[in-house]
Amino acid sequence: MRRFLIAGNWKMNTLRQSGVALAGELAAVAVHEEAGVEVLICPPYPYLLPVGERIGGSAVQLGAQDVYFESPGAFTGEIAVEMLKDCGCRYVLIGHSERRAILGETDAVINRKVRAALAGGLTVVLCVGELLAERQSGQTEEVLDRQMEGGFSGISEAEAASIVVAYEPVWAIGTGVTATPEQAESAHEHLRKWLARRYSLAFSEKTRILYGGSVKADNAETLLSQPNVDGALVGGASLKAATFVPIIEAARKLAN
């Protein structure tokens, strides 16, 4: 059975005090490593160190929200893989829809980031997902195929073992609209079949595919119970322990 991954993407939220306090609440919940559930939080860059220190000794993993593809040098405003690792990060989000849409990141740029992160020893959470217009026009699978082709370009099966895929339908991110369990499962099944064609059936069965898009306490268990949904990438609901912990608990319930 694939181990659930419940990841919190804090985006451009929290200040140092509130972020460290939240991290402490989560560390108290995830004190020990669990066989069935892994917890990850991705705070803003300025708070990686204090948050990392607060979750030290717990089972909560630390991740960053993005990374640059070059080695340290003259790249003002960017963050290198080595810097993230030095802060204690084990994971990094790459290709989030907000970076694709707002900051214009292309599949080619995302691929360079993925390859740099993997080469530096980070585990990548690669985000893919379609716009509302693309879903309405029946292009969901075409869009997912294109984004997967771009993200996995030039990556061997051994390297790809350190990639987690996150399906985030753009129309469900921060909107309060959630994909139905059937919609989520259909997209996840398609992504798993893509991985099987690209690499192997055995590889696809080991790869975790998360769902992201208005995941909340009241829909987490239903979404996570789908056969091909291996966790959640949570945005707004990850900003308070009261709304994030129930999602972790839903995964624990299903893992037992």
Q: Give the active site residues.
A: 96, 168
CB contact at 8 A, 116 and 69: yes
3-state secondary structure of 14: coil
Q: Which of 62, 2, 6, 4 shows the shortest CA–CA distance to 241?
A: 6
N residues, the chain: 256
Q: Which of 120, 39, 111 shows the shortest CA–CA distance to 85?
A: 120
CA atoms within 13 A on the CB side of 213: 25
Helices (H), 120-180: 132-136, 140-151, 157-160
Which tokens belong to 37?
A: 């559930």
**Pairing mode, strands 123-128 and 91-94:** parallel
CB neighbour list of residue 243: distance below 8 Å, 6 or more residues apart:
216, 217, 236, 237
Q: Give me the sign of the Cα torsion angle 207, 211, 216, 220.
A: negative
DSSP 8-state assignment for residue 171: G
